[in-house]
Structure 1
Amino acid sequence: MTAVPKQTVMAIKSYQNQAQMLFKNYLLADPFIPYTSILGGILACKVAYDLTQLISSIYIKTYPGLTKIQRVEWNNRGISTIHAIFVSALSLYFVFWSDLFSDQHLPGLVVFRSSPLSTFGLGVSVGYFLSDLGMILWLYPSLGGIEYVIHHSLSGIAVAYSMFTGEAQLYTYMVLISEVTTPEINMRWYLDTAGMKRSSAYLINGVVIFFAWLIARVLLFGYLFYHVYLHYQQVIKMHTFGYVLVFVVPSVLATMNLVWFGKIIKGLVRTLAKRQRRI
């Protein structure tokens, strides 16, 4: 085995050091984080779409038999699943485990707290919402109706405002926890498309969706409004636009969540009734 020349090794290390310095001093520098994170989110969506397409075409037998628009939606749901796992994990960390938004551990108003990591995470979500909204509008209404346009538009505006201003990032992450239900919703669509609507996996998925939705999209929103009530004297110190967003966006999303939750309950009851009749 031929040894690598010492000069080559030193040259590689030099390039690595330069790349690390560029990454640290520019891409992760506070003024650039919002823009690089948005770009990173958009690029991550492209990679997720291509990987979903590649893996599905190799390992999923039913994938090649889908229509063109079904394959597009299949790949698109791969994007939303990966984003949901990333942002819900980050949101759970910031809301329940990190000291960043704790009333006891840090001084200052909680509605104005932020960090490079919290800003970066929101930027990735902005990149996702832009990419997904673009696909929804381009193929409208194949990937979703007006409710999806409203949901993504409101979410994107609120997340972008919180990212650029540093205001109300705690409440933004509280809302983003609701993305924890996205993988289950996507799995339901995958099972249905794969012809597994009568399988036990489909029934279990429905039960999981019910409890996940109840906790993350109903009860958690109640906690958010209660937290805003307790910290109202801080909330009123925000800029007017941010103040309005704190009340309007969660209220609209909570209403949509309740409507969808009603449909989930009806669908679950219907599925259980059909299985009971078959037994």
Structure 2
Amino acid sequence: MTLLPKQTVLAIKSYQNQAQMLVKNYLLADPFIPYTSILVGILACKVAYDLTQLISSFYVKTYPGLTKIQRVEWNNRGVSTIHATFVSALSLYFVFWSDLFSDQQLADLVVFRSSPLSTFVLGVSVGYFLSDLGMILWLFPSLGGIEYVIHHSFSGIAVAYSMFTGEAQLYTYMVLISEVTTPEINMRWYLDTAGMKRSNAYLINGVVIFFVWLIARVLLFGYMFYHVYLHYNQVIKMHTFGYVLVFGVPLVLATMNLMWFSKIIKGLVKTVAKMQLRI
């Protein structure tokens, strides 16, 4: 084994120290975190899209036979699944396990609490919403109708505001927990596209969607509005735009969630009926 010359080792260590200083003093410095995290989110979406395409080409037999737009949507749903898993896991952590937004922390008002990590995660999510909204508009309406444009626009604006100002990050994370339903929705589309609509996996997936949607997009929104009610004396101290977002965006999303939930119930009932007829 050949050892590197001492000067080369020192040069490598010097470059490493400079890179660490760059990341610490600029890329992850508080003023730059929002912009760095958005860029990370956009780049992560690109990497996730390419990885989904590469893995699917080798390991999914039905993938090569899909149309061009189906392959684009297949890859795009891979990106949304990865983002949803990432942001919903961290949202659950911040809302239910982290001390950051705990009522026991009396140092400052809960609606104004934030941390470098909580801001960074929101920035990554903003990067995702920008990337996905761009693809939806570019290929409109192949990847989704106007309801997806409305959903991503409202979500992106609310998350970006919370990220840049540090206001209402707790409520932003409560809403982002609803992303836990995205992997199940995407799996349903994958099963349908792969010709497995009549399989038991499709039925199980439908049942899982029903319960996860009920908890994350119906009951949890009710809990969020109740939390706002209990802390209304803090909410009214926010900037007017933030105050409007706290009430307006969740209300719009909750309405859309209920509309989609009614469709989920109808679809589940039809699927169960068809399975019983085959039996």
Cα deviation 1:108-135 (Å, max 9, x = unaligned)? 1000000000000000011000000000
Give the Cα separation in 2 of the matches to 1:18 and 1:106.
39
Match of 1:167 in 2: 167
Deviations 1:111-170 (A, max 9, x none): 000000000000001100000000000000000000000000000000000000100000
Taking the aligned partners of 1:180 and 1:107, their CA distance within structure 2 comes to: 31
Q: Tell me how many residue pairs correspond in the alignment.
A: 279
Question: Which stretch of the first structure deviates more once superposed, 30-39 or 3-12?
Answer: 3-12
Deviations 1:169-224 (A, max 9, x none): 00000000000000000010001000011111111111111111000000000000
TM-score (norm 1): 0.99
- In the aligned structure 1, how far is the partner of 2:175 from the partner of 2:19? 35
Residues 219-277 of structure 1 deviation map (CA, whole Å, 9 limit, x = unaligned): 00000000000000000000100000000000000000000000001111111111111
Q: Distance in 1 between matches of 2:94 and 2:132?
A: 24
Residues of 1 paired with 2:106 and 2:71: CA distance? 48
Deviates more, 1:177-186 or 1:16-25: 16-25
1:99–1:106 Cα contact (<8 Å) kept: no
CA distance in 1, matches of 2:91, 2:113: 15
Ranges of 4+ aligned residues in structure 1 off by more than 6 Å: none
How many Å separate the matches in 1 of 2:55 and 2:31? 37
CA contact (8 A) 1:63 1:71 kept: yes
1:12 CA drift (Å): 1.4
Would you say the 8 A contact 1:84–1:179 is kept in 2? yes
Aligned partner of residue 234 in structure 2, secondary structure: helix
What's the C-alpha RMSD, in Å, of the aligned pairs? 0.7
Tell me which residue corresponds to 1:150: 150
Residue 32 of structure 1 aligns to a residue whose secondary structure is: helix
Distance 2:54 2:214 in 1: 34
The offset of 1:106, in angstroms, is 4.0
**Which segments of 5 or more consecutive residues in structure 1 lack a partner in the other structure?**
none
SS in 2 for 1:198: coil
